[in-house]
Copies of this chain bind each other. A is one copy, B any other.
């Protein structure tokens, strides 16, 4: 199952790490640490092999991919030896990177993106292309009447308005090109009634939102722990110190607000009440591609006794995100192959703010995910239970 992975923001940290890692896995130069789809509970015949993944993407900047990779290597995100070992493979991906589509109207730009996607699929004879948005987080989008309906949307896009935020225009183009779409960012992406309707119309699945890689990941196991023990969480305060491109962008208050809100949601929904406290994001350039999060939780136990827990998480966001991008591409490709349409709520495990928000408990999300994978594998051509291709 030859599968294209088209990355929006293809020259960013997450995308570059995903590409280098995907190429290294294909070349057997690295193992799948961090790749959830390689765990016994998830792997199986429905998923495209790493060797079947082909990378391409859009970006607004033109820094060569190998330069970004070298920069990430010297920042300690990826091993320099991998970058040095894959010059031809990186050059081949470089060939498949395109500037952000241009055109007078959003309709023109969408059409250009559709051509980029179709060309990629054809050149590489791909069974399908999954579009994954890993570009910079946008400010919250402004509502527009045309967001509610595909016909209205199509009409409005041909006009002079900036009807859709960039993430949604990419989602629109993906769907128009027959490609499933996954949003790894907190941006709007496919989360508009018009785009949902379009996905259904075209028989396409989509997934999102906002990859869960650090503090929120930890929250998604600690909050259920407090809930299962009937302990009363009184306050949960956090600070996220981060450098890197995404950090600078999030220092922008509008983007920050979007991100913070998706981070706090897990608490209220898991505990059934919202404890005191806030989560802050601060930019500290010196931290580079690493992030340090500190959280303080105060809670009351039996007869009101006051207790507390704090944790510090020091993670490399791109290294945590990249294997999930590969996982999402594989799982979404398999879902598409299996004929799944609409929001992939079973992918909640991967996201801070999952579509359909079935649960914020990591363990319950895991149960959903493994059930999903089992069903895909059971139905897959190569499986004992599956029917012939």
Q: Which residues of A contact B (CB under 8 A)?
A: 17, 20-21, 24, 30, 32-36, 38-39, 76-79, 82, 217-218, 220-222, 224-225, 228-232, 234-235, 237, 239, 241, 276-278, 280, 282, 284-287, 290, 292, 294, 296, 298, 300-305, 307-316, 319-320, 322-323, 349, 361-364, 366
Contact = CB atoms under 8 A, between A and B. Distances in A.
B319 A301 contact: yes
Main DSSP-derived SS at the A contact region = mixed
Contacts of A362: 225, 228, 363
B235 A225 contact: no
A20 B287 contact: no
Contact of A230 (B32, B237, B290, B302): B32
Nearest to A364: B363
Contacts of A217: 225, 229
Nearest to A37: B230
Nearest to A41: B228
A294 B239 contact: yes
Nearest to A326: B302
Contacts of A364: 363
A263 to B, nearest CB: 15
Contacts of A36: 228-230
A311 B314 contact: no
A286 B63 CA distance: 36
B309 A218 contact: yes
A352 to B, nearest CB: 14
Most chain B beta-carbon contacts within 10 A, residue among A30, A35, A232, A235: A235
A222 B223 CA distance: 11
B33 A303 contact: yes
B225 A79 contact: no
Contacts of A285: 235, 276
Given A309-B312, A314-B307, A323-B230, A33 B301 contact: yes
5 contacts: A24-B303, A79-B303, A241-B296, A301-B316, A309-B313
